[in-house]
Structure 1
Amino acid sequence: MISLSKRFMPALLAAFLLLPLPAAGGIAGVQDYFFDRFDTDLHGFIEARGGLRLDREEDQRDASIGEARLQLDFSRWLGDGELRLKTDLLADGVMEELRFELREANYDFSPHPDLDVRLGRQVLTWGTGDLLFINDVFAKDWESFFIGRDDEYLKKASDAVRLGIFAGPVNLDLVYVPLVTHSNYIDGSRLSYWHGGQQRIAGRDQIARDKSRNRVFRDSETALRLYRQQGSIEYALYGYYGFWSTPEGMDPDSGRLIYPRLGVYGASVRGPLLGGISNLEVGYYHSLDDTSGRDPLIRNSEWRLLAGHERELARDLTAGLQYYLERKVQYNNYLASLPPGAPAADHNRHLLTLRLTRLLLQQNLTLSLFVYWSPSDQDGHLRPKANYKISDQLAVEAGANLFRGSRDHTFWGQFEDNSNVYLGLRRTF
């Protein structure tokens, strides 16, 4: 990681944007060279994004995002499998650093007609929710999600082995991660958050610190999915053994956040209903380091439920609705364990979401709105966005992250001062 002076950032952003458009002798020439010389496909994009907070905070920067990104995506067939490498070079003007990110580096092959294997760094995802996750417990990047990066960056990659077994009436996905991948949570360095210990909103004046698990094979994750397609309906069972992906505990000796052990067991069903697609998903989060719910420093076990429906309302207009529930287990023990004066979470947290998507101008303009609203917490998050394709290679995007809440300690309410707007320009090749 290289530290950058602020005065060099505008020039660096301009340099990314002024790279040549795909044309003979430009990026297309580089693509042709890789294909001819190494039999390798090369794709990617060049992007610049900038954004501002809507509310000024003394302990945070006015800019929510200001960065340039170059992504290169290589793929090549080797023997009986495909090798893929996806890398990002990011110039981050807000954090004043230049960093290299290895997004994917894996080899995909099939040693048997009924077996697929993927080895290496990869993005892991399953489940039925739309920006809501129950049995998808794999690592996320919540900071990227809240500052206006592309939705691709919500998911973090893991160094894993994934097996797909297709034999008999039921298929099996099995994932093993030798060293758990933690989510990128809100720690105060860029976005403010609710500090439970100090009972206030904290930012750069109180950056959260954690104790990352770092013992390979001992701090591992194992996940499986059994699924079956029967007609147009898919059924699935899930299992997970590992750790909370965000730090849901605290070490009383050091005061650092920790990642307690976690088991997750769930099921889902998805298929056509009432002129659209419906889904139902359930999961039990077993907090293995506090099964009684009496430890105030570790998150309780909980049940989670998700029901959703999506359908086309008119030509080029779709809508999706979801209901989500978190229900704490051992709630009375949780209440008894709270320190005096600490706000208590509700026994049941209800959350509703709405997604509207409209395509215009021969589908070159995409208008979308995603709304989270919790009637129990009285808080929410709005994500309006517009994306316009200027050409096959060039697109511009504008959007916002708007947070509202009546209480500082609720999930969305804690982020109210982080509301922001952003603008992005991307060239693909």
Structure 2
Amino acid sequence: MKAFNRLSAGLCLSVFLFCPVHGVWGQGAGESSWQLKGLVDTYHAFRSEKPNDWMSSRTRLRGEVGKNFAGSSLFVSFNATYNALLKERTGFELREAYLDHRQEHWGFRLGRQLVIWGAADGVRITDLVSPMDMTEFLAQDYDDIRMPVNALRFFVFNDKIKLELLAVPTFEGYKLPTDAANPWSVLPKETPRSLVWDAEGSRPELRLSNVEYGGRLSFALPGVDFSLAALHTWNKMPVIEYKPSGSQLTVSPRYYRMGFVGGDVSKPLGQFVLRGEAAFNLGKHFSYIQQAASTPQKGFNTINWLVGADWYAPHEWTVMAQFSSESIFKYESYVAQPRHNSLLTLCVSKKLLDSNLQLSDFTYFDLNHKGWFSRFTADYALNDHIHLLAGYDWFGGSEGMFGPYKHNSEVWAKAKYCF
């Protein structure tokens, strides 16, 4: 009932937002006006091996409302979702809500917004401002996995150079699935003790000393784009701590300060685009193996880097490959992550039927643990507004980040209407 009330409240708010749109839709181009767009989609997936149970079943209304006036703009986006399996995800969610103002050489954006840094595709190197929603692991569109933050961004720019200064006053961390009924739960599945998730007191308090801040200097020069960035932040993926007590094992998330300096570069060469990105992380904390639960936490310095190439081939083929690796300095054997952790990604796509059908496959391959996650997608544009999609998510491996989901391979279907 509470979920239904939340959803009803959200729908009422969406109607309230839409009302003024209709009233000013026909204003002239020179006057301020409201813009409305959005989508309705429904997504369903079932496990491809026994017991062939449902892995996901959700329907969503996404609304986006904007207003432009005198060099400024307002933007609000929201989700009204019904989730048949994860009842706590049913309801209304305010996604973005910000004011954007631009002058000739400066501007700012204030409010709840997505912050995207770096040149990598589906891999986080310097893109550490916006956290991730891992409720269904990576079995969602990447745009839906990325979460907004409350931030103030100040810009100074000209035709070739852009300086961005950033402040994030309120903490936002990864959204992790901890319900044992969720097939994507991050909790250990086979333990001799009963598990208790205890997140009380784990989030950083709202105070000035906990503000995240940083900046990014970007250059768009003839033949090459590159940027330099620095950030004093929090590790949005928490360290998982285990505390055994009698027949129980208490699992708690802990967040720690960290920083990085780094940058990215992108250069087109004919049909190819070469990309690179690197970050030197300062004081990054990691989860420990359960046997080292009593070992005090400490931060490590790491180097995280990526190289990639995109090939926009003839006949509407696209091939994108990336290799990334993170190395931990002064490594200790009780750290759960390997000293050198490497990941390979490969995306291949092809358009057919006058570009109305796109077949694609995006694969992550964990080189350390020989595990993988591969998402095959067939996307057919029925018309300009309606897309019908189907695909298969294939998991493999016994250890590492994909090993826990080796039995979660799934068949899925999705329909999307954009307006």
Looking at structure 2, the residues matched to 92 and 194 of structure 1 have their Cα atoms a distance apart, in angstroms, of 20
User: Structure 2 matches for 1:123-142, cutoff 5 A?
Assistant: 123-138=114-129, 139-142=131-134
Rate the CA distance shift 1:207–1:276 in 2: closer, same or farther, 3 A.
farther
Give the alignment partner of residue 266 of structure 1, picking from 248, 262, 268: 262
Q: Does 1:326 align with 2:322?
A: no
Give the alignment partner of residue 415 of structure 1, picking from 381, 392, 405: 405
1:171 deviates by: 2.2
1:49 deviates by: 1.1
Partner of 1:378: 370
Partner of 2:59: 68
Looking at structure 2, the residues matched to 214 and 259 of structure 1 have their Cα atoms a distance apart, in angstroms, of 11
Of 114-123 and 247-256, more deviation after overlay is shown by 247-256
Partner of 2:142: 151
Q: Helix, strand or coil for the counterpart of 2:138?
A: helix
Q: Helix, strand or coil for the counterpart of 1:256?
A: strand
Q: Helix, strand or coil for the counterpart of 1:398?
A: strand
State the structure with bigger RCO (CA 8 A, min sep 6), 1 or 2: 1
Q: Does 1:283 align with 2:279?
A: yes
Count the aligned residue pairs.
387
1:140 deviates by: 1.5
Of 91-100 and 168-177, more deviation after overlay is shown by 168-177
1:393 deviates by: 1.4
Rate the CA distance shift 1:272–1:208 in 2: closer, same or farther, 3 A.
farther
Partner of 2:342: 350
Q: Helix, strand or coil for the counterpart of 2:122?
A: coil
Does the CA contact (< 8 Å) of 2:378 and 2:389 recur in 1?
yes
Q: Helix, strand or coil for the counterpart of 1:282?
A: strand
Aligned alpha-carbon RMSD (Å): 3.1
Counterpart residue type for residue 52 of structure 1: F
Partner of 2:289: none
Looking at structure 1, the residues matched to 20 and 70 of structure 2 have their Cα atoms a distance apart, in angstroms, of 24
1:213 deviates by: 2.2
Partner of 1:229: 220
Looking at structure 1, the residues matched to 196 and 270 of structure 2 have their Cα atoms a distance apart, in angstroms, of 48
1:170 deviates by: 4.0
Does the CA contact (< 8 Å) of 1:48 and 1:67 recur in 2?
yes
Q: Helix, strand or coil for the counterpart of 2:384?
A: coil
User: Structure 2 matches for 1:87-102, cutoff 5 A?
Assistant: 87-97=78-88, 98-102=90-94
Unaligned runs of 5+ in 1: 17-27, 339-343
Partner of 1:361: 353
1:287 deviates by: 1.9
Does the CA contact (< 8 Å) of 1:349 and 1:377 recur in 2?
no
Counterpart residue type for residue 84 of structure 2: G
1:236 deviates by: 1.1
Rate the CA distance shift 1:184–1:299 in 2: closer, same or farther, 3 A.
farther
Does the CA contact (< 8 Å) of 2:398 and 2:406 recur in 1?
no
Rate the CA distance shift 1:64–1:39 in 2: closer, same or farther, 3 A.
same
1:251 deviates by: 8.2
1:394 deviates by: 1.2
Rate the CA distance shift 1:193–1:379 in 2: closer, same or farther, 3 A.
farther
Partner of 1:3: 3
1:62 deviates by: 3.0
CA deviation map 1:189-231 (0-9, x unaligned): 5234565xx6x558xx747443222314333211311121221
1:80 deviates by: 3.1
Does the CA contact (< 8 Å) of 2:60 and 2:80 recur in 1?
yes
Looking at structure 2, the residues matched to 255 and 285 of structure 1 have their Cα atoms a distance apart, in angstroms, of 26
Of 358-367 and 72-81, more deviation after overlay is shown by 72-81
CA deviation map 1:373-411 (0-9, x unaligned): 12221111101111111111111111232211133xx11
Does the CA contact (< 8 Å) of 1:34 and 1:41 recur in 2?
no
1:308 deviates by: 0.1
Does the CA contact (< 8 Å) of 2:285 and 2:299 recur in 1?
no
Give the alignment partner of residue 45 of structure 1, picking from 35, 39, 49: 39
Q: Helix, strand or coil for the counterpart of 2:144?
A: helix
Q: Does 1:54 align with 2:45?
A: no
Q: Does 1:425 align with 2:386?
A: no
Partner of 2:170: 179
Identity %: 21
Looking at structure 1, the residues matched to 337 and 285 of structure 2 have their Cα atoms a distance apart, in angstroms, of 20
1:155 deviates by: 1.0
Rate the CA distance shift 1:155–1:345 in 2: closer, same or farther, 3 A.
closer
Does the CA contact (< 8 Å) of 2:105 and 2:158 recur in 1?
yes
